[in-house]
Amino acid sequence: MSKDKKIKKIISGVYDLSLGISIVVAIVLGVGVGYILKKWLGLEWLFWLGVFWGIGGALLNIKKAYNRTKKELETIKDDIKYSYYQDGEKKKDV
């Protein structure tokens, strides 16, 4: 395996492992910002705005991970190694 392929495989693994952490961090940051704004300005709804910002950031991270995985799968969809063969012929997708 070439050095570039090894590095790409490691980076892909790191992205997959970091998804859960990035979701938690996004929500915690949103809640923290909302809490600070609530304390400074005394408006309760700013806390909930921060919560929604955090959840929005987490959903954005999930969408980015989904798009990255989809792009990777598109590159290997025609690879013979990942095709299903029956009796020596490629089976058509259903």
pLDDT at 8 over 60: yes
How far apart CA 45 and CA 20 sit, in angstroms, is 27
76 or 32, which is more confident: 32
| Confidence class for position 91, pLDDT limits 50, 70, 90 | low
Dihedral sign from CA coordinates of 70, 74, 77, 81: negative
At residue 86, the pLDDT reads 54
- pLDDT tens digits, residue range 25-60? 999 999 999 999 999 999 999 999 999 999 999 999
